[in-house]
Amino acid sequence: MANRRSSALILGALLCMGFVALGYLLGQSAVKVKEYERVVRVKGLAERELPANIVIWPIQYSAASNSLEDLYRKLDEHAAVVRGFLIKRGIQADEVSISAPAVTDKSAQQYGNEPSPFRFVGWQTVTVYSEQLGKVRALMGEISELGKQGVVLKGDHYDSRPEYIFNQLNEIKPAMIEESTKNARQVAEKFAADSNSRLGKIKKASQGQFSIQDRDRNNPHIKKIRVVSTVEYYLSD
């Protein structure tokens, strides 16, 4: 009988010790889980200013005549003058394209405040698509030479504005993502230090969209490339 009581006491003691140990382990796990619930979300920015590598320059001109045949002849002559101007100054022939002319018959229009002295008015565009940004931009300052040769330019028209393109994003994307992530970590480390915490592992990270914009309206050939990365880190005491 005494042996049975001793065994029961020992078993009870072991069970109590087991419950205590289990409670301690569960308590420690709860503390760790609670620690992992503490996070900080930060953003890291990376920016570059780079020149565009492609320029699209539309040169639009017009002509007018009372004869449709004469109008098309003038437009063809203007196209030859513009093309010759470009190629003579170093633009490659395959970088120049000529659009089909657009012609308006003024007599067919039922509106207009003032009568036109010419029945037919036509427009045409010669477009330069080139990677020679420096050369093309220099030619833009010489465009008045075409006017001296009788070409009526429409330089103030929206469709005549040059367009600058940067298409080498894939070449700089990895370095910019690395830079934005490093900047995010620096911000997180500063936050952790200020809050007497230690920075842990990354919980979640997301990369924002790359944006490419003109640096300013006076320098559209210089592009500002920008990306923002958002990163969440665990914090611990």
pLDDT score recorded for residue 58: 96
What radius of gyration, in Å, describes the C-alpha atoms of the chain?
36
2 and 80 within one domain = no
Beta bridge pairs of residue 54: 165
What percentage of the chain carries pLDDT values higher than 90?
A: 66
122 and 182 within one domain = no
pLDDT score recorded for residue 23: 44
Only one residue has tokens 């330089």, namely 155
189 and 130 within one domain = no
Nearest CA to 167 out of 225, 220, 208 is that of 225
Q: At 139, which helix (H) or strand (E)?
A: helix 133-140
147 and 67 within one domain = yes
Q: What is the pTM of this model?
A: 0.75
What's the rounded Cα separation, in Å, for the pair 141 and 145? 9
**Total structural domains within the chain:** 3
pLDDT score recorded for residue 154: 83
161 and 62 within one domain = yes
Tell me the residue range of the domain where 24 lies: 1-37
Among 145, 165, 185, the domain-final residue is 165
| CATH number, residue 125 | 3.30.70.2970
Residues 84-140 pLDDT 10s: 999 999 999 999 999 999 999 988 765 655 667 889 999 999 999 999 999 999 999
Mean pLDDT of the chain: 85
208 and 118 within one domain = no
Residues (pLDDT < 70) of the chain are 1-37, 109-115, 155-159
16 and 6 within one domain = yes
